[in-house]
Amino acid sequence: MKIALTGATGFVGSTLVDLALERGHEVRALTRRDQPEREGVAWVRGDLANTDALALLCEGADAVVHVAGVVNAPDKAGFVAGNVTGTKAVVEAAGASGAARLVHVSSLSAREPMLSDYGKSKFGAEVAVEQSSLACTIVRPPAIYGPRDTEMFELFKTAKWGVVPLPPEGRASMIHVSDLAALLLALATDGGEHAGQVYEPDDGREGGWRHAEMARAIGDAVGRRVIPLSMPAALVKGAARVDRLLRGAKAKLTPDRASYMVHPDWVIDAAKRPPAGLWQPRIETREGLKATAAWYRAEGWL
């Protein structure tokens, strides 16, 4: 199949490119910057605001997978531009091209849109997808980890020192990036059978992971016995303001992110798990975390 992909140079998108090529598909991928030539990949220079680039991206595609999105922005307008307006543009381009289906990568944060500007924008993107006439499927991943990730990497770094700072005690689901990529590819090539569905995939762990359990598992992965340090919500939000002041646009813990991090329940809805006949997770999280830590070491990150 010919698959059009946004976010192809990012963490999830690059993993999906690798898998699609491995399975014999052709990929047309949107990129902001020039990329090295790669067999099976046609790079399209542009971004979500470039309608000509999106038209070229989707032209002749059997399926469009929309992974690109904004996870960090200086204000509400930045999230709206990247996640809502950008998604609408992809939907329009996909519809005009005659693509048979669209797979949209959302976020569990869309379930609680009032907690943060990010969550509100991801909810708005879902609305744009659902209002289209395309055969669309929405995927809401939980916390994603794996090689090349720079977000959860922060926890691996702190685990090296034996203490992992955490939000107030709560629970969250997790998924390895390779398992997520396998689901996205399965949906892109399923013939539209799952159109109209909203799926929440995870590693299969019922009830998700308590934050402290997750911290200890990451500690095991880096070979350290760690102390999970749950912080009050006010302290998390204060730390976010400090991180923004110190690192500016490079801050990982932003005030907006802190607003949804302190929510106690980011466990997937088991009723929204993808059907087993379509997809099942294959990577056990403790082993996946150890392999991820090994990759970080091999790349000199840890």
For residues 36-52, give the mean pLDDT: 97
Tell me, what's the pLDDT at 84?
98
Instruction: Kindly state the average pLDDT of the residues 166-194.
Output: 95
pLDDT recorded at residue 254: 83
* Per-chain mean pLDDT for the chain: 95
Taking 80 as the threshold, does the pLDDT of residue 46 lie above it? yes
pLDDT at 52 exceeding the cut of 90: yes
Do residues 168 and 228 make contact, with C-beta atoms less than 8 angstroms apart? Answer: no
* Higher per-residue confidence, 158 vs 250: 158
CB 166 within 8 A of CB 229: yes
- What domains, with CATH codes, occur in the chain? 2-148+173-206+266-283 (3.40.50.720)
Whether the per-residue pLDDT at 247 is higher than 80: the answer is no
pLDDT tens digits for 88-134? 999 999 999 999 899 999 999 999 999 999 999 999 999 999 999 89
pLDDT of 237 above 90: no
Question: In sequence order, what are the residues at sequence separation of 6 or more whose Cβ sits closer than 8 angstroms to the Cβ of residue 193?
Answer: none
Instruction: Say how far apart CA 74 and CA 140 lie, in whole Å.
Output: 23
Long-range contacts of 228-233 (CB under 8 A, 24+ apart): 228/164, 228/166, 229/163, 229/164, 229/165, 229/166, 230/166, 230/167, 230/168, 230/169, 231/165, 231/166, 231/167, 231/168, 232/168, 233/167, 233/168, 233/262
Query: pLDDT at position 238, please?
Result: 87
Determine the average pLDDT of the residues in 199-204.
98
pLDDT at 35 over 90: yes
Checking if the pLDDT of 85 tops 80, the result is: yes
Q: Is the pTM of this model over 0.85?
A: yes
Lowest mean pLDDT segment, chosen from 31-45, 67-81, 251-265: 251-265
